[in-house]
Amino acid sequence: MLDMNAFFASVEMRDFPELRGRPVAVTNGLDGTCIITCSYEARAAGIHTGMRLYEARQRCPELVQRAARPEVYAQVSTRIMDALTQVCPDVEVFSVDEAFIDMTASQRLYGTPIRIAYLLRRAVYQASGLLSSIGVSGDKTTAKFAAKQNKPNGFTVIPPWEARQHLKHVPVTALCGIAQGIGRFLAERGVHVCGDMVRLPIGELAKRFGNPGRRIWYMAQGADPEPLHYEVAAPKSIGHGKVMPPDTRSRDVILTYLLHMSVKVCARMRRHDLEAMTYSIALNTRDGWIGSKQRLGIAGDDPRELYQLCLHTLEQCWQGQGVFQVQITALDPMPCKRQLDMFDTQSHAQRQKGQQLFQAVDAINERYGDLTLAPALLLNRSKMPNVIAPSWKPKGHRQSV
Ligand SMILES: [Mg+2]
C-alpha cells in the first residue's frame, strides 16, 4: 500500500513554500471549523484530523489555517494514481491518497517487491512533488498496517511469512476494517490483540458477521484473503451538497443552492450515462434535516425537472426556518434507457429537445469548465466551498468534487 503523507497539507506546502516547516491545518473553506488534515508540524503539537479549529489554536497559536482546494487535490491524486499504474498496472485506488498495488505482474520486469516499492515512490514524487509512505507485505491488511508505521516517508516491509508474528501484539482494532463494534464483540471473547485470534473458532465470527467475519479471522493472522478491486462499483446513489451561510432564511437563496445542486447532480449523471427516477432533497436546519423523497414520472437527468421537485419539497417541508446546508441525491441511478412516454408526443418532442440541449451544454462545459453554461439564476450562486468526499476516486462516476 502506498499512502501519501498528510496529503492535503502537503499539497498546500508544495504550492505555497512560505508554509513549509510551519504547522498547517486544512479546513473546508475558511469558515470550516473542523480540521480535515494537518501537517506533521501541527501533529507534533498534538493536533489531529477531526479536531475543532478553536481547540487546535489553543494548543498551537501559530497554527496556519488553509482553505481546502478539492479540485487541486483531485488533480494531484489523478496524477499520482496514473504514475503508480505506469509502474504496476494492477492498482486499486483505495481513497484520494491511498492505493493498493499488486506487484506480482511486475516482478519479472523490475525485480523484487522492495525495488518496485522504491520505483513506485519515485514515480509518485516525480508526478506530484510529494513524498509518500509505503508498506509492503503479502496481503492487503498487513500492507496497510505496514504503510502506517514509520510515517512520514515510511518504508516498511513485512514479509508474508513474518506477518502473523508481526501482528501478534497489535490490538485488533488497529487493523483497517475492524471497527469499535466488532472490537467489542472480540474483546468480550478475550480477543484483544491479533495473536488472541487463534483461540477464537472462526465459526463464531462467521455466525455473527458472515463472510466479513471470516475475513477478520484471517486478517488478524496476517493472511487477509481479500483480492484487489480494480473497478469502481456501480453507484448506489449520486449526490451533491453544499454548506450555506449559517441560518439562511431567504427562499430565493435556498432555491439558488438547490438549482445549483440539481445542475451538478444531473451533469454527473449525464457524464456517466445514468438517469434516475427517485431523488432525496434535503435541507439541514437547526432542528436537523428536513426534506422529502420525490419521484419523476419517468427516469431522467434534466435539472429543470429536478428543480421542480425541489420546489415541491420546499413547499411541503419548509416553514421558513434557517437553513445551513442543502443536499440532493439521486437514489436509484441506472444506465440510461432514455425511455420516452409513448402516450404523450408533446413531452416526447420536448425530451428530445432537452437531450440535444444538454449534449451541447455538456460539450461546452467539458471544454471551458463546469457551469460555463448554466441557468442564469446561478450567476448568484455561492462561493461556498465544495467538499471532497473520502470516497473520491480518480476514475469513474466518483470523479467529482
Ligand atoms: Mg494519507
Architecture of the domain whose range is 238-398: 2-Layer Sandwich (3.30)
Q: How far is the CA of 240 from the centre of ligand 1 (A)?
A: 24
pLDDT single digits (tens) 347-380: 667 777 787 788 888 888 877 777 777 777 777 6
Q: How far is the CA of 128 from the centre of ligand 1 (A)?
A: 14
- Catalytic: which of 41, 62, 92, 98? 98
Half-sphere exposure for 38 (CA within 13 Å, toward CB)? 26
Q: How far is the CA of 257 from the centre of ligand 1 (A)?
A: 32
Torsion on CA atoms 177, 181, 186, 189, rounded to nearest 10: -170
Omega before 152 within 30 of 0, i.e. cis: yes
Q: Which of 166, 138, 290, 152 is nearest to 227 (CA)?
A: 138
3-state SS, residue 12: helix
3-class DSSP string for 176-210: CCCCHHHHHHHHHCCCCEHHHHHHCCHHHHHHHHC
Measured CA to CA, the distance from residue 224 to residue 179 in angstroms comes to 16
Measured CA to CA, the distance from residue 376 to residue 380 in angstroms comes to 8
Q: Can you give the pLDDT of all 401 residues of the chain as single tens digits?
A: 999 999 999 999 999 999 999 999 999 888 888 899 999 999 999 999 989 999 999 999 999 999 999 889 988 998 999 999 999 989 998 888 999 999 999 999 999 999 999 999 999 999 999 999 999 999 999 999 999 999 899 999 999 999 999 999 999 999 998 988 899 999 999 999 999 999 999 999 999 999 999 999 999 999 999 999 886 655 778 999 998 888 999 999 999 999 999 999 999 998 888 899 999 999 999 888 999 999 998 888 999 999 999 999 999 999 999 999 999 999 988 887 665 555 555 666 777 778 778 888 888 887 777 777 777 777 767 666 665 555 556 555 555 55
pLDDT single digits (tens) 268-295: 998 888 899 999 999 999 888 999 999 9
CATH of domain 164-219: 1.10.150.20
Half-sphere exposure for 271 (CA within 13 Å, toward CB)? 19
* Residue-range domain boundaries for the chain: 7-69, 164-219, 238-398
Residues whose beta carbons lie less than 5 angstroms from ion ligand 1: 3-4, 97
Q: How far is the CA of 96 from the centre of ligand 1 (A)?
A: 8
Ramachandran region, residue 57 (left: φ > 0; alpha: ψ -120 to 50; beta: rest):
alpha
CA 289 to chain centre: 22
Q: How far is the CA of 155 from the centre of ligand 1 (A)?
A: 14
Q: What pLDDT does residue 10 have? A: 97
Whether the domain at 7-69 and the domain at 238-398 fall into the same CATH topology: no
The CATH class of 7-69 is alpha beta
- 98 catalytic, yes or no? yes
Q: How far is the CA of 277 from the centre of ligand 1 (A)?
A: 37
Q: How far is the CA of 7 from the centre of ligand 1 (A)?
A: 6
Neighbours of 179 (CB within 10 A): 9
Q: What pLDDT does residue 133 have? A: 97
- pTM of the shown model: 0.64
